[in-house]
Amino acid sequence: MLRLTFLTIALAAALPLAAQSPADAATTAKPNNLAQKLIDQGLVKHPEIVIFVMHVKNQDGSDYPIVASNIGRYGKKADEDDLRCINTGKTNLEVNATGNHFEVEMALHDKAKNVLGAIAVVFNYKAGDDKEALHKKAEKIREEVEKQIPSLAKLTGPA
């Protein structure tokens, strides 16, 4: 009886996982690409970053999913803010709804200055912090990253 109960519990726990689509499963696996390597290196070099994400054009150019981050969500499609940043080149600057993060989202380029997508650099924030200083810091971090991106294919290819 105990064995049957354990088996029932184990099967019940496994069912939600089995019901996930392959795309759902892919969103949880950390990618082994140059983009993720650059995110990981950036976080080590700049421990003040709390969220670091890259939305990069997929191969057919139809969307800009997350290809690298420190918060998961791999494969999540670009939202309106992401696309506005990518399409206009204008940086999005905002304090989040809870007031504890300052978000800087910018267009991301390769070495040849081709637009590849968007990069988001997020810092802890409290009222009175210098937003422009955080903006400049984020731009400098983006420049460091872009110098290491030879092309879209290399960025999304194996690390």
Q: 95-113, pLDDT tens digit by residue?
A: 999 999 999 999 999 999 9
Helix or strand run (H / E) with residue 105: strand 101-109
In a domain, 104, yes or no: yes
In a domain, 147, yes or no: yes
CATH code of residue 86? 3.30.450.40
In a domain, 57, yes or no: yes
Q: What is the pLDDT of residues 44-64, one digit of tens each?
A: 999 999 999 999 998 887 899
Answer whether 82's CB lies under 8 Å from 64's CB: yes
- Is residue 44 exposed (0-12), middle (13-18) or buried (19+ Cβ within 10 Å)? exposed
Domain hosting 144: range is 30-156
- What is the pTM for the complete model shown? 0.80
